[in-house]
């Protein structure tokens, strides 16, 4: 049994943009839903990071207020 070299891709780098735009134009609803999903995902990550930062700041403020009463 002989082993052959892996086949090389026949798509050139210059062909990627036209092929991608054909896919976007042929399925506009799919493209719009994909963009909406990416936007919602980014918004969710930003919201979660904001909530954790504000919760952390609130917790540290509460601990600072308790510190004089807990330790002499």
Please tell me the predicted confidence (pLDDT) of residue 69: 67
| 12-65 confidence digits (pLDDT tens) | 888 888 888 888 899 999 999 999 999 999 999 999 999 998 888 888 888 888
Q: How many residues can be counted in the chain? A: 72
Q: Are 31 and 24 in contact (CB under 8 A)?
A: yes
């Amino acid at each position: 049994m002989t082993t052959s070299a892996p086949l090389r891709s026949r798509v050139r780098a210059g062909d990627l943009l036209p092929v991608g735009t054909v896919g976007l134009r042929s399925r506009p609803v799919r493209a719009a839903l994909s963009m909406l999903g990416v936007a919602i995902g980014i918004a969710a990550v930003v919201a979660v990071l904001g909530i954790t930062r504000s919760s952390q700041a609130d917790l540290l403020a509460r601990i600072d207020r308790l510190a004089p009463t807990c330790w002499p």
